[in-house]
Amino acid sequence: MIIVTGAAGFIGSGLISRLNQDGFKNIIAVDDFSKIEKAENLEGKIIKEKVERNALFEWLDANSRDVEFIFHIGARTDTTEFDKEIFDELNVNYSKGIWEKCVAYQIPLVYASSAATYGLGEHGYDDNESTIGQLKPLNPYGDSKNEFDKWALAQEKKPFFWAGLKFFNVYGPNEYHKGRMASVIFHAYNQIKATEKMKLFRSHNPDFKDGEQMRDFIYVKDLIDVCIFFMHHRKNSGIYNLGSGRARTFKDLVTNTFLAMGKTPDISYVDTPADIRDKYQYFTQANMSKLRSIGYTRPFSTLEEGIDDYVKNYLSSTSYL
């Protein structure tokens, strides 16, 4: 059996789809299943059992000998939420509980960290474990992910294999439920469909022209490929970046969304809201050499390839992965 937490969410549901494709049918889906807006993400997936998030530890105590792997993808991911207690409960303490069960029952673990841990990038975007204690995230979400990374590295008792993956800007199918936390591509598609235009945040940094703020965007299918790689690899434990390794501008992203929709780009700019202006990242780019060094060789989709697939095969028909 393979456990996937956050199973009804964006990445977790896509991961289950891929596991099913690869012949894994004994999937234990863990989530807060009361949130019905995510239910369609699991339609058609082959799942052995659904376990409510708050019942997982008890379930593991009874069934651990049958569990082959845990993907801990679930988290509170709202970067505009400032109630630290919510993040402490769901992102830090819950993750510690999963780690401790993996140690006790010798279960290998992959968990989701985040590029939000890097803050403004003062220390770069290298997945060097010796500098994690120096990172200064910009919000409680990033803090919670970094706190768990630090805690994991400090533990004397670790699962026999574990990997924390720092997800960069992920986009792709199954994010329909995410609202304002969905990717810029998702919002661009819907805004262009409704108005034939797209508004982007203007730059308030003299080093960047409007629309040339840059992010490392990674297609969810590529991210899932890496998760599957680690499930089979099971060595070289540690914390790894997971981006495409190439920063691209928001202007590139929106232009490619227009083109995938068969429309002429029409982009304008609005002021970045004052409440986030001081904490706005103008550049992120994952250094991917660490993952490459342990034998991961698959290429990552270009932004053009990822957007074209996402728009034409999923967004245009509201299809799911």
Residue 160 is assigned to a ligand binding site: no
- pLDDT of 130 > 80? The answer is yes
Is residue 178 annotated as part of the catalytic site, yes or no? yes
Residue 130 is assigned to a ligand binding site: no
DSSP code string of 208-222: S-TT--EE-EEEHHH
CA-nearest of 266, 167, 272 to 217 is: 167
- pLDDT of 276 > 90? The answer is no
Q: Which of 48, 158, 178, 263 is catalytic?
A: 178
- pLDDT of 157 > 90? The answer is yes
| Percent above pLDDT 90 for the chain | 88
Q: What letter would DSSP give residue 105? A: H
pLDDT tens digits along 10-36 = 999 999 999 999 999 999 999 999 989
Q: What share of the chain is helix, strand, coil (3-state, %, to 5)?
A: 45, 15, 40
Would you state the structure tokens that stand for residue 160, as one six-digit string? 């026999």
pLDDT tens digits along 30-80 = 999 998 999 999 999 999 999 999 999 999 999 999 999 999 999 886 776
Residue 114 is assigned to a ligand binding site: no
d(CA 109, CA 222): 19
Band the pLDDT of 119: cuts 50, 70, 90: very high
d(CA 80, CA 303): 26
Q: Which of 118, 141, 171, 176 is catalytic?
A: 141
Residue 197 is assigned to a ligand binding site: no
- pLDDT of 278 > 90? The answer is no
By the 8 A CB rule, do 268 and 252 touch? no
Q: In this structure, are strands 238-242 and 162-167 parallel, antiparallel, or unpaired?
A: parallel
pLDDT tens digits along 250-270 = 999 999 999 999 999 999 999
Residue 66 is assigned to a ligand binding site: no
Q: For residue 84, what pLDDT is reported? A: 79
